[in-house]
Amino acid sequence: MKSYNVAILGATGAVGKTMLKVLEERNFPIEELRLLASERSAGKEIEFKGTKYKVEPVSPEAFEGIDIALFSAGSSRSKIWAPIAVEKGAVVIDNSSAFRMEPEVPLVVPEVNPEDVQIHKGIIANPNCSTIQMVVALYPIHKEKKIKRIIVSTYQAVSGAGAKAMEDLTEETKAKFEGKYYIPEALPASIAFNVIPRIDVFLENGYTKEEMKMFNETRKIMHAPDIKVSATCVRVPVFIGHSESITIETEYPITPEEARQILSSAPGVIVEDDPENNVYPMPIEVEGKDDVFVGRIRKDLAFDNGLSMWVVADNLRKGAATNAVQIAELLIKYAMV
Ligand code: NAP
Ligand code: 3JM
């Protein structure tokens, strides 16, 4: 089997480290591995498959000879380095929001629109974590019953805001118990014993950028330009695992039993829905898993053709690293690298 030269930009971050884990677990065919980050982390050692690799500062030369570059170092870094990596001959799979809505950049969730990978011109975008888990759960229903409207509230883990935000939750929680003050550095407000109804920046329409990512990305991935999405994105004091309360309105009637049946055979979805026995998905239980978990499926009482559900996934895995590695696997499958 052919193997590939792979670079990871942002290898020391919460997503980058998870990418390494996922590449190792899935035995991705790697010939040469380059771990890239900023000057701050240059020289740090990271282990992959029992071998220690030195982190290098990102540079144009670092992309020389690279086949696949996985990017997770933020959107401003993606804007600088993705064109350079492409120029050097790499295919970039970018985890940031930098290119997601550009028409020539495919935005791919392998369970939903794998074939879109084929139109790439060097960059493929990995969607936002909250969007990924939502479309994995909703697309199978959309295909059969046509979703018209989605109302979603998210309960997002701090790991979605990076490694520093995880440290903030630990340190602020400890400080609270010790009667001390700690001001989070990577979050816009107190996170210990609190919830923050703001993720990313506020926009003119009153929604945040994260909420508008869910609106725009859902339409692009599902090829459903008319779907209406109203999202409220909330940061909660959970380390790993985003949860979502979702209500949909469909064109054609759907019963909870039908939805359970559709989702039971949907790729990447696990139905955990037995409320009488206290079975419903929770973030603490999905950590380390690659599937999207759905429970609390019920007829919605506010819409005639309405359905409500609770959707949980590991944001660092399916919401970021696993989805990106699956995209890399699609490139191999379609013989595009
Ligand atoms: P993180 O834990 O803060 O890690 C950031 C990474 O970027 C680190 O490896 C850091 O390296 C590197 N970096 C920062 N500034 C750099 C620079 N100037 N040049 C080169 N490397 C630099 O953040 P994270 O949670 O892993 O997320 C990283 C990015 O991935 C986010 O900003 C976002 O765009 C994307 N993301 C996407 C999703 C998704 O939904 N698909 C989810 C989470 C994150 P140092 O160690 O040298 O600082
Ligand atoms: C998730 O540097 C940045 O602006 C990154 C902010 C960020 C993003 C983003 O917009 O790329 C942090 C966490 C995301 C994302 O997936 O959209």
Provide the pairing of β-strand 306-313 with 292-299.
antiparallel
Given the residues 120, 129, 142, 233, the one annotated as active site: 129
Residue nearest to atom 3 of ligand 2 (CA): 74
Interacting residues of 202 by C-beta distance below 8 A, sequence separation 6+: 208, 209
Q: Rounded to two decimals, what is the model's pTM?
A: 0.98
CA–CA distance, 323 with 337 (Å, rounded to integer): 18
Task: State which ligand 1 atom lies nearest to the alpha carbon of 71.
Answer: 30
> Could you confirm whether 233 is annotated as catalytic?
no
Closest-lying ligand to the alpha carbon of 126?
A: 1
> Could you confirm whether 242 is annotated as catalytic?
yes
pLDDT of residue 1: 83
pLDDT of residue 184: 98
Instruction: For each of the domains in the chain, give its residue range(s) and CATH number, in order of start.
Output: 4-126+320-333 (3.40.50.720), 131-315 (3.30.360.10)
Alpha carbon of residue 137 to chain centroid: 14
Please choose, from the candidates 65, 37, 62, the residue with its C-alpha nearest in 3D space to the C-alpha of residue 337.
Answer: 65
Q: Does residue 75 line the site of ligand 2, with CB under 6 A?
A: yes
Helix (H) or strand (E) holding 334: none
pLDDT of residue 53: 98
Task: State which ligand 2 atom lies nearest to the alpha carbon of 76.
Answer: 2
Ranges of residues in the chain whose predicted pLDDT is under 70: none
Alpha-carbon distances of 171 from 13, 180, 190, 234, 240, rounded to whole Å: 18, 10, 11, 20, 16
CA–CA distance, 46 with 21 (Å, rounded to integer): 11
CA–CA distance, 24 with 42 (Å, rounded to integer): 22
CA–CA distance, 199 with 195 (Å, rounded to integer): 11
Alpha-carbon distances of 93 from 18, 52, 86, 241, rounded to whole Å: 15, 24, 10, 22
Q: Does residue 46 line the site of ligand 1, with CB under 6 A?
A: no
Please choose, from the candidates 307, 172, 174, 177, the residue with its C-alpha nearest in 3D space to the C-alpha of residue 248.
Answer: 307
Q: Does residue 78 line the site of ligand 2, with CB under 6 A?
A: no
CA of 303 relative to ligand 1 center, distance in Å:
40
What percentage of the chain's residues is helix, strand, coil (to nearest 5)? 35, 25, 40
Rounded (5°) CA angle 270-235-114: 40
Provide the pairing of β-strand 56-57 with 30-37.
parallel
Q: Does residue 130 line the site of ligand 2, with CB under 6 A?
A: no
Provide the pairing of β-strand 292-299 with 242-250.
unpaired
Closest-lying ligand to the alpha carbon of 35?
A: 1
pLDDT of residue 104: 97
CA–CA distance, 292 with 286 (Å, rounded to integer): 8
Please choose, from the candidates 234, 161, 127, the residue with its C-alpha nearest in 3D space to the C-alpha of residue 13.
Answer: 161
